[in-house]
Structure 1
Amino acid sequence: MPLPLERLCWIDAGHNAGLVARYEVFHLPALFLVKDGHFLGALQVRLTHSDLLAAIGEALLRPAEELP
């Protein structure tokens, strides 16, 4: 699926409890956007091409948040 991303990482919550705790993951799957080291938050979106593009575009317009 072509997306405007340099890298997409899949993290197995069962093997990375530290990341799950740090990012306060409550539901799986969970998507988070980080750009240039800035945390732009969670993406609450269906995993379809058009929905992902829209959610990424919206997230890029909001100010960076502090990491959880």
Structure 2
Amino acid sequence: MQTLDQFNFHHVLAETPGTALVIFTGPDCGACRRVKALLSDMVAAGEPWSLFEVDAARDGGLAREFEVFHLPSLFLFRDGRYHAPLHAEALPERIRMAVAATLARPAQEAP
């Protein structure tokens, strides 16, 4: 999982082909660690996603830009374009369904 910050966030995601999931986390967030591990396991098992992490405490500007009010918060990008926040219970099948449903809709304007 690659770490993004305010200096490389937009540039890296713009150049990332395919589906990218960005998770906003915090250093003391147990739920964040669980979701990161789950997503990493899903990618290791074959999900064709690129995973990125933003430390919301360190990069408050990005957290404000994406209106992150709770951790973890997930956002979906495809081929460098923002699609939407991703809301799903932290279960593999629920996450897969949420990704598919979100990608079936048109991309949105980034916050």
1:31 counterpart letter in structure 2 = L
Question: Which residue in the other structure is 1:44 paired with?
Answer: 87
Over 4 Å off, 4+ runs: none
Structure-2-length-normalised TM-score = 0.57
CA distance in 2, matches of 1:31, 1:64: 15
CA distance in 1, matches of 2:52, 2:105: 22
Structure-1-length-normalised TM-score = 0.89
- 1:20 and 2:63 equivalent? yes
- 1:65 and 2:65 equivalent? no
- Which one has the largest radius of gyration? 2
- Deviation of residue 62 (structure 1)? 0.5
CA distance in 1, matches of 2:108, 2:69: 18
- The alignment of Structure 1 onto Structure 2 pairs a total of residues equal to 67
- 1:4 and 2:43 equivalent? no
Unaligned runs of 5+ in 1: none
Aligned-pair identity (%): 37
Q: For the aligned residues, what is the CA RMSD? A: 1.0
